[in-house]
Amino acid sequence: MEYRDILTFKKDRHAVVQLNRPEKMNALSHNLRAELFDALKGFEMDPDVRAIIIRGSGRGFSAGYDLSGIQNTLDDRDYVEKRSGLPNVGSIHPGQGQWPQHLLSGYWQIWELTKPVISQVHGWCLAGGTELATMCDLMFVAEDAIIGYPPVRAMTPVDVLYHPWQMHQKKVRELLYTGDSVTGREAVELGWANRAVPVDRLCEVTEAFAERIANVDGPMLQMTKRQVNRAYEIMGIRTAMAVGADIQELGRARPGGAEFGRIAREKGLKAALDWRDSPFGDYGSAPASATKPSGAAW
């Protein structure tokens, strides 16, 4: 089928889903996510596909969830009315706290696909972009990619608490207490990503690894992925993330939790991002450059 916000194609024995909103730094709009899940399900059913790569067009993988309509989505009553506009990810979680639970329902679909999914990360990979990249089976990154979760500075705790499953406790606390970022090279050192390579080799290396995976027959891959998934589930990954989603909603309801949204409604999203990041001197408050995020997301 034809898509508006993603590109899809097959190459040899792997498939590619490419986030394609480069003018918005591939901000994860409802429509983009709906198309992403639809494409993944299609490739899941394709017997010629052994592995799937998710990557981004333009200057980065993704700057996060699209907050351009923030004035309409921060109020629960408005949000419930717009529920039908969210991607169909199976479970429905109406009412308070539905947003992080809805996100988890989508990411567990990637988890449950029989085929390995590789995120190919370059440029900016922030907030919701890190959730998408991290919830894939494997993560290949450009050495100079910028990966971080700035919303924890003033908005809410993380939507999807993947951090404790990816790195040492002390680094988890450092990143979530500050919202600071790491480079792709550092992400590999932490165990967060698999491999970091120069950006001009990233596509070549990722596709070559997808083809390496494809040397294993499909049913064998399915059993191995299921085996690894179940081990982490026994250790409590699903419960931990569900509890993290509940606490995210508590964080939004805390005293001061509405301040970011108030500034965005009254002065615009850029002003809210500057208010959040200016004490840290990075992200949206950093000096203008060719690689600076547009402020349309996270």
Nearest to 31 by CA among 15, 42, 20: 20
Confidence (pLDDT) at 92:
62
Q: What is the mean pLDDT of the chain?
A: 89
Region 188-209: mean pLDDT is 98
Say whether pLDDT at 291 is over 50.
no
Q: Is 172 a residue whose pLDDT tops 50?
A: yes
Instruction: Place 225 in a pLDDT band, splitting at 50, 70 and 90.
Output: very high
Residue among 248, 265, 223 nearest 100 (CA)? 248
Please compute the mean of the pLDDT values over residues 198-207 and round it to a whole number. Answer: 98
**Is the pLDDT at 212 greater than 50, yes or no?**
yes
First to last CA, the chain: 29
Euclidean distance between CA atoms 150 and 273, whole angstroms:
9
DSSP helix/strand/coil, 178: helix
Query: Distance from CA of residue 232 to its chain's centroid?
Result: 20
pLDDT of residue 84: 44
Sequence ranges of the domains in the chain: 6-285
Provide the pLDDT for residue 295: 45
DSSP per residue, 255-277: TTTTHHHHHHHHH-HHHHHHHHH
The whole-number average pLDDT for the span 243-271 is 91
> pLDDT tens digit string along 67-102?
875 444 444 444 433 444 567 776 666 677 788 888
| Distance from C-alpha of 108 to C-alpha of 127, rounded to nearest angstrom | 18
Residue 110 · residue 40 · CB < 8 Å: yes
Where residue 217 falls among pLDDT bands split at 50, 70, 90? very high
List Cβ neighbours of 220 (8 Å cut-off, separation of 6 or more).
Answer: none
CATH C-level class of 6-285: alpha beta
pLDDT (average), residues 190-218: 98
The pairing of beta strand 138-142 with beta strand 195-197: parallel
